[in-house]
Amino acid sequence: MVGLFIGIKGKSVAQNWSRAHSTPRYNKSKADVLTAFQTLKYLGSKRKLIPFLEKTIKSVVGDDLSQLTFCDLFAGTGIVGRTFKSSVKEVTSNDLEYYAYVINRNYIGNHETIADSQDYIDLLNRIPLEHKGFIYQNYCPGESGRMYFSDHNGKKIDTMRKWIEWLKKIGIEDDLYFFLLASLIESADTVSNVTALYTAYLKNLIPKAQESLILEPAHFETTKNTHRVFNENANDLIRKISGDILYLDPPYTCRQYGGDYHLLGTIAKYDNFVPTGITGRRDYKRSAWASNKSAEGQLDDLLKHAQFKYIFMSYNNEGLMLPDVIKSMMSKYGKYDVAETEYRRFKSSAGTHKANTTMEYLHILEKP
Ligand SMILES: C[S@@+](CC[C@H](N)C(=O)[O-])C[C@H]1O[C@@H](n2cnc3c(N)ncnc32)[C@H](O)[C@@H]1O
């Protein structure tokens, strides 16, 4: 692939290409960015709860957030940080999972327009396919029998992923690198042959998985202010940061995100390992928040070390920690309150619950 453009600096690769292939430009408003563009379908995503969260947080902190910092410590898809990105002084975003880091590094970390970004998307959409990449060999029916992606899309993911790495090698900026990688992770997810989680693939290719992958740009909002993005264990990071508003959205159940979304982690890292078992899982970090034994200890530790005035924590009535336990733990550290709303359950093939709705809480702690 390098031979195609050898000797051409990173930026001009895409410019040269776009001279030959022109496509429409994107120019979206803030509302479009938040509602029209894809975010991952994600276990525990707060996308539909954004109005509830925004209203409750503003009712406690005030409407003008411009002088306040906001930290989204378990950021996942990044949708909560994105909501506050343009109205606060600075967003700090963090997640244990590398694929979530990539997504947040784009949506939160990127704050200035990237020149020629659409040209790079066009370039990646048109390059000739590789035939023997890691995803094709291990996660597609043709070679491994695993059916996470069609053979064609597996080859497309490999081709684009290798090119993104090559572009990095020849000198594109980090902002562009993470924009392209986030675009690939989200676009690949839209053609995956799973119902929601990557814990299992379906026996036959469902209609969305039969469609050819198209790389869609992961548009981010531009702001004057800069933002920070981390890929750390929340309980380690909390000891090193401080600010005004801390939003917590830890796992509610024993499900481990590193296992449930292992293939997104593999596309993000694109490292070499031997996939194991029927599902071809990789090794992943286990979160102590997703454990009956340790969740309460993690919360107490985090509240103790949090140097933030306002702390908000999402949790529901079916989570590992009971509402009363959270209430008494938070009350030790300051003034406690709670807001609640009914919420339609996230559906996945792994789910066993019968009720269609849950009660979603926003626990509130004001530290002295
Ligand atoms: C409920 S989801 C967050 C969803 C997110 N608010 C959204 O709307 O997309 C929980 C997130 O916590 C992350 N996580 C789990 N344990 C963590 C830890 N110890 N430190 C940091 N992040 C962690 C998971 O990777 C997952 O993305």
Q: Where are the domains of the chain?
A: 1-36+112-219, 45-111+229-251+287-368
> Strand, helix or coil at 261?
coil
What per-residue confidence (pLDDT) applies to 217? 96
- Ligand 1 neighbourhood includes 287 CB (under 6 angstroms): yes
CA-based end-to-end distance of the chain:
59
What's the length of the chain?
Answer: 368
Ligand 1 pocket test target in 48, 229, 249, 312 with most atoms within 8 Å of CB: 249
What is the residue-level pLDDT of the chain in tens, covering all 368 positions? 433 343 334 444 555 444 433 333 333 445 455 555 457 889 999 999 999 999 999 999 999 999 999 999 999 999 999 999 999 999 999 999 999 999 999 999 999 999 999 999 999 999 999 778 999 999 999 999 999 999 999 999 999 999 999 999 999 999 999 999 999 999 999 999 999 899 999 999 999 999 999 999 999 999 999 999 999 999 999 999 999 999 999 999 999 999 999 999 999 999 999 999 999 999 999 999 999 999 999 999 999 999 999 999 999 999 999 999 999 999 999 999 999 999 877 655 555 555 678 899 999 999 99
Q: What region does 205 belong to: left with phi over 0, alpha with psi -120 to 50, or beta?
A: beta
The Å distance, Cα 16 to ligand 1 centre, comes to 40
- Ligand 1 neighbourhood includes 46 CB (under 6 angstroms): yes
Instruction: Single out the residue of 35, 32, 5 nearest to residue 17, CA to CA.
Output: 5
Dihedral over Cα of 324, 326, 328, 331: its sign: negative
Inter-axis angle of helices 174-190 and 117-126, nearest 10: 50
Atom of ligand 1 nearest to the CA of 247: 6
**Nearest CA owner, ligand 1 atom 24:** 257
**Nearest CA owner, ligand 1 atom 15:** 287
CATH top class, domain 45-111+229-251+287-368: alpha beta
Q: What angle do CA 300, 357, 33 make, to 5 degrees?
A: 80
- Ligand 1 neighbourhood includes 45 CB (under 6 angstroms): yes
For residues 187 and 22, give the distance between their C-alpha atoms in angstroms, rounded to a whole number: 21
The Å distance, Cα 85 to ligand 1 centre, comes to 18
**Nearest CA owner, ligand 1 atom 13:** 74
Atom of ligand 1 nearest to the CA of 95: 22
- Ligand 1 neighbourhood includes 96 CB (under 6 angstroms): yes
The Å distance, Cα 182 to ligand 1 centre, comes to 17
For residues 173 and 191, give the distance between their C-alpha atoms in angstroms, rounded to a whole number: 28
- Ligand 1 neighbourhood includes 250 CB (under 6 angstroms): yes
H-type alpha helices, 170-311 = 174-190, 207-210, 234-237, 257-260, 262-269, 295-305
Joined together, the tokens standing for residue 113 give 């327009």
What per-residue confidence (pLDDT) applies to 27? 37
- Ligand 1 neighbourhood includes 289 CB (under 6 angstroms): yes
Torsion of CA 290, 293, 299, 300, to 10 degrees: -170
What per-residue confidence (pLDDT) applies to 24? 30
Q: What angle do CA 288, 342, 299 make, to 5 degrees?
A: 20
**Nearest CA owner, ligand 1 atom 1:** 44
The Å distance, Cα 297 to ligand 1 centre, comes to 17
Instruction: Single out the residue of 149, 99, 103, 165 nearest to residue 280, CA to CA.
Output: 149
CB 314 within 8 A of CB 362: yes
Ligand 1 pocket test target in 257, 305, 318 with most atoms within 8 Å of CB: 257
Chain center to CA of 358: 23
Chain center to CA of 82: 11
What per-residue confidence (pLDDT) applies to 347? 59
Atom of ligand 1 nearest to the CA of 79: 8
Element (H, E) at 55: helix 50-61
For residues 188 and 347, give the distance between their C-alpha atoms in angstroms, rounded to a whole number: 20
